[in-house]
Copies of this chain bind each other. A is one copy, B any other.
Amino acid sequence: MLVNQFTIQTSERQQLVDITSRVSSIVRDWDVPSVLVYVPHTTAGILINEHADPDVAADMLTALDAIVPVDAGYRHAEGNSPAHVKTSLVGTSQVVPLEGGRLRLGTWQGIFLAEFDGPRMRKVYVSAL
């Protein structure tokens, strides 16, 4: 079965959740060259960055808060336009190469669900490519 999915209950308004081991265990038996990790949401994304030092994830959220204006004359009535913008800056998905069912991530790389408008229940789709 080369399509799978799981859910994550986030606990903060903004949060980077390390999902590397979840993805890793799903693809363990997959004899395919790469995998797509995708979120079907518009205020949460997927990014790859350092997961050895959790400060990097914290700094990412700090920087995105500095980059995306809180109020720029937005029209969207729900008031969460910055979360939509952050999602398009980091991206809705990532593709990771595989080798013998093992993610070919670099030494410092981890896969994160990036929550920008939580806490919410989020879905992650994992598909063979």
| A-to-B contact residues, CB < 8 Å | 2-3, 33-34, 36, 38-42, 47-50, 53, 55-56, 58-60, 62-64, 66-69, 72-78, 81-82, 84-85, 87-97, 99, 104-109, 123, 125, 127-129
Asked if A33 contacts B109 (CB within 8 A), the reply is no
A93 to B35 Cα, complex, angstroms: 13
A48 to B38 Cα, complex, angstroms: 11
Partner of A72, one of B38, B40, B63: B63
Closest to A91 in B: B91
* Total identical chains: 3
Closest to A73 in B: B62
Partner of A109, one of B42, B49, B67, B104: B42
Asked if A69 contacts B66 (CB within 8 A), the reply is yes
Taking CB atoms, residues of chain B closer than 8 Å to A2 are 33
